């Protein structure tokens, strides 16, 4: 992670004259990736750009294409492939870019099994961690990590071509990777090809679970078992679930150096083809030293590569450990803030004060809270259950508060709101919905605030100082004074059903502020009053060094906290 901090120095003497002290640095993060909001797609569920790679007859008796999961309300889920591919994403690169995003996160691209899984428990509309009848459309069931899944590329459009095309559209590429597990590996009535097996880059079988429960594996005598752990599932009431297997997935043996070599080699193959950042699946299921070594080896080839992990936990102290330099030294998805956003903008409609504590602006456990990945839903949980206005409010916060925004595909229209994994969360979006997206009342306000963030460095990397987070009103400053940029953004949010007259005095600097959304200018002296529409936003920007004493004091405190945190985490 990139935390480069500096402080003001004293007066210098030159030719007998005193020079004014340099302005202090006020910066949340210098991480370059913080400039870019991220659009997350489950590739198979976005757009089918090339029907010729659908493989609709694949799997035989255990077919893999279009397998509905019936739900009582007739809004069905689906656990088969539905055709989304590289071409579908690339065809809509301009759509994503024009929506205000600078990066696309895609699900894993590695080869997955060619049949539907016959083991595990029956899938229902409301079930979780049940996989019977499911396919690897999502990409997380790798069998050959050196081979791209056949459902994704097209003639003349391999992965390297795909990343090149996204770069041409001014979009960075975030690749989802898995280090913890392969495919479902046991409980099959009859063994199925590829499930529980790992193949090397030449297609040779190097690991095989052989449809045996983990505790039946014999790694000491069977080399094909050595890739896997032989610890069975651990009941949560008897210990940490992280000590055992996740569902029936083949659990990689972190003590086997061959596992590390295999995965590092595979992911270096893909990163060399134009990947800008990595999202690390299930980071919490492998120990810190393993990830430290993995990250070190990848960054040896790609210095400074940004990475963020998924530690599915709402305890900030636990997920923060992955951000520390001694551990993985990566960012993480901000689950604690996600929970607060659901309560604030979803059906509960709690006040903005709910969002204050999870920000951890001072004294928090993270290496740097400004590098966290902010989101309000994804593919592993029910989508945000909110009204159109709730989505608008959520996006106004997501793109102005600290952190790097991540938006799940379809949220620009409130797609499948409130639906869980097997109840439509990962439903097929499709070109028709993409083409009609701008008609959604959510779309325009999202595009407006996303483009605002894109054009405003203080909203990307500036420190956050809260003036108030209370009820339906949020008022806060984002300040960036670093590298030749002197910018303060004042954000006013109103999630109420009526317009609000908001006055700001505290921390406010006199000067000529510009309305960053409407282009007007405002001469400010002592106070600023603004009418903020219902479920609306106003952002005023001052392009000048900070001189307001109370704001300076808060910013100095924030920088001192960052420095103390950096020293503490760097200590042996």
Q: Is residue 391 part of a domain?
A: yes
Longest dimension (CA), the chain: 89
Cα 137 to Cα 57, 112, 177, 214: the distances in Å are: 15, 8, 15, 25
| pLDDT, tens only, 285-342 | 999 999 999 999 999 999 999 999 999 999 999 999 999 999 999 999 999 999 999 9
Q: What is the pLDDT of residue 477?
A: 98
Pick the last residue of a domain from 403, 429, 460.
Answer: 460
Which distant-in-sequence residues (6+ apart) come within 8 Å of 254 by Cβ?
229, 260, 286, 287, 290
Cα 312 to Cα 318, 462, 530: the distances in Å are: 10, 27, 39
Q: Is residue 25 part of a domain?
A: no
Residue 481: CATH number of its domain:
2.60.40.1180
Q: Is residue 208 part of a domain?
A: no
Q: How far apart are the first and last CA of the chain?
A: 18
pLDDT above 70 for 238 = no
Instruction: Name the DSSP letter for residue 176.
Output: E
Task: Write down how long the chain is.
Answer: 572
pLDDT band at 9 (very low <50, low <70, confident <90, very high): very low
- Beta-bridged to residue 12, according to DSSP, are 19
Asked if 444 and 485 sit in the same domain, the reply is no
| pLDDT, tens only, 364-390 | 999 999 999 999 999 999 999 999 999
Do the bridges between strand 277-281 and strand 172-178 make them parallel or antiparallel, or are there none, so unpaired?
parallel
Asked if 104 and 178 sit in the same domain, the reply is yes
d(CA 478, CA 27): 9
Asked if 132 and 86 sit in the same domain, the reply is yes
- Beta-bridged to residue 457, according to DSSP, are none
Residue 167: CATH number of its domain:
3.20.20.80
Asked if 59 and 178 sit in the same domain, the reply is yes
Asked if 166 and 298 sit in the same domain, the reply is yes
| pLDDT, tens only, 161-204 | 999 999 999 999 999 999 999 999 999 999 999 999 999 999 99
Asked if 427 and 467 sit in the same domain, the reply is no
DSSP notation for 298-325: HHHHSTT-EEEE----S-HHHHHGGGST
Q: Is residue 140 part of a domain?
A: yes
pLDDT above 70 for 40 = yes
pLDDT band at 245 (very low <50, low <70, confident <90, very high): confident
Asked if 537 and 431 sit in the same domain, the reply is no
Pick the last residue of a domain from 408, 427, 460.
Answer: 460
Q: What is the pLDDT of residue 20?
A: 60
d(CA 153, CA 149): 8
Asked if 318 and 357 sit in the same domain, the reply is yes
pLDDT above 50 for 24 = yes
The residue-averaged pLDDT of 46-63 equals 98
Question: What pTM does this model have?
Answer: 0.95
| pLDDT, tens only, 405-420 | 999 999 999 999 999 9
Q: Is residue 468 part of a domain?
A: yes
pLDDT band at 244 (very low <50, low <70, confident <90, very high): low
How many C-beta atoms surround the C-beta of residue 97 within 10 A? 18
d(CA 253, CA 180): 8
Q: Is residue 268 part of a domain?
A: no
Structural domain total, the chain? 2
Structure tokens at 7: 């402080």
Asked if 358 and 506 sit in the same domain, the reply is no
Quick one: which H or E segment has residue 204? none
Give a three-class secondary structure readout of 412-455: HHCCCCCCCHHHCCCCCCCHHHHHHHHHCCCHHHHHHHHHHHHH
Asked if 484 and 563 sit in the same domain, the reply is yes
Asked if 416 and 555 sit in the same domain, the reply is no
Pick the last residue of a domain from 429, 445, 460.
Answer: 460
Q: Is residue 207 part of a domain?
A: no
Asked if 442 and 471 sit in the same domain, the reply is no
Q: Is residue 205 part of a domain?
A: no
Instruction: Name the DSSP letter for residue 242.
Output: G
Domain carrying residue 492? 463-570
């Amino acid at each position: 992670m990139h935390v480069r901090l500096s402080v003001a120095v004293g007066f210098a003497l030159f030719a007998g004259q005193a020079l004014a002290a340099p302005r202090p640095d006020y910066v949340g993060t210098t991480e370059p990736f913080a400039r870019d909001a991220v659009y997350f797609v489950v590739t198979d569920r976005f757009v089918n750009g090339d029907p010729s790679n659908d493989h609709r007859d694949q799997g035989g008796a255990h077919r893999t294409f279009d397998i509905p999961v019936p739900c009582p309300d007739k809004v069905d889920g689906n656990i088969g492939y539905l055709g989304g591919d590289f071409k579908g994403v690339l065809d809509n690169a301009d759509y994503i870019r024009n929506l205000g995003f600078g990066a696309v996160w895609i699900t894993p691209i590695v080869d997955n099994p060619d049949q539907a899984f016959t083991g595990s428990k029956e899938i229902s509309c409301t079930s979780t961690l049940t996989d019977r009848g499911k396919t690897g459309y999502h990409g997380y069931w790798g069998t050959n990590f050196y081979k791209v899944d056949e459902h994704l590329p097209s003639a003349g459009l391999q992965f390297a071509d795909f990343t090149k095309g996204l770069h041409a559209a001014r979009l960075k590429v975030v690749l989802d990777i898995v280090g913890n597990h392969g495919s479902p590996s046991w409980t099959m009535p009859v063994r199925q090809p590829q499930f529980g097996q790992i193949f090397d880059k030449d297609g040779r079988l190097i690991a095989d679970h052989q449809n045996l429960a983990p505790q039946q594996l014999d790694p000491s005598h069977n080399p094909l078992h050595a890739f896997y752990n032989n610890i069975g599932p651990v009941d949560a009431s008897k210990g940490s679930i992280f000590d055992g297997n996740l569902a029936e997935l083949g659990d990689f043996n972190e003590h086997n150096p061959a596992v590390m070599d295999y995965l590092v080699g595979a992911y270096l193959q893909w990163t060399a083809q134009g990947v800008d950042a990595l999202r690390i699946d299930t980071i919490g299921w492998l120990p810190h030293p393993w990830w430290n070594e993995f990250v070190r080896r990848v960054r040896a080839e790609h210095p400074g590569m940004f990475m963020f992990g998924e530690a599915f936990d709402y305890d900030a102290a636990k997920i923060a450990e992955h951000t520390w330099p001694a551990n993985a030294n990566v960012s993480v998805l901000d689950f604690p803030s996600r929970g607060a956003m659901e309560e604030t903008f979803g059906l509960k409609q709690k006040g903005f004060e709910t969002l204050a504590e999870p920000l951890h602006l001072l004294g928090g456990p993270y290496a740097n809270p400004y590098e966290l990945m902010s989101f309000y839903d994804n593919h592993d949980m029910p989508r945000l259950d909110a009204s159109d206005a709730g989505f608008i409010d959520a996006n106004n916060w997501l793109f102005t508060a600290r952190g790097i925004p991540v938006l799940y595909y379809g949220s620009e229209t409130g797609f499948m709101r409130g639906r869980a994994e097997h109840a439509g969360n990962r439903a097929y979006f499709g070109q028709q919905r993409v083409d009609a997206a701008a008609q959604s009342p959510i779309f325009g306000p999202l595009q407006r605030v996303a483009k605002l963030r894109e054009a405003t460095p203080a909203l990307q990397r500036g420190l956050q100082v809260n003036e108030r987070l209370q009820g339906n009103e949020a008022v806060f400053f984002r300040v960036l004074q670093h590298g030749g940029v002197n910018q303060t953004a004042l954000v006013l949010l109103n999630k109420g059903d009526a317009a609000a007259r908001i006055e700001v005095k505290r921390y406010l600097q006199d000067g000529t502020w510009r309305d960053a959304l409407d282009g007007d200018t405002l001469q400010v002296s002592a106070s600023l009053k603004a009418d903020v529409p219902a479920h609306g936003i106003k952002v005023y920007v001052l392009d000048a060094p900070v001189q307001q004493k109370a704001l300076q004091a808060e910013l100095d405190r924030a920088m001192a906290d960052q420095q103390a945190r950096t020293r503490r985490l760097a200590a042996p």
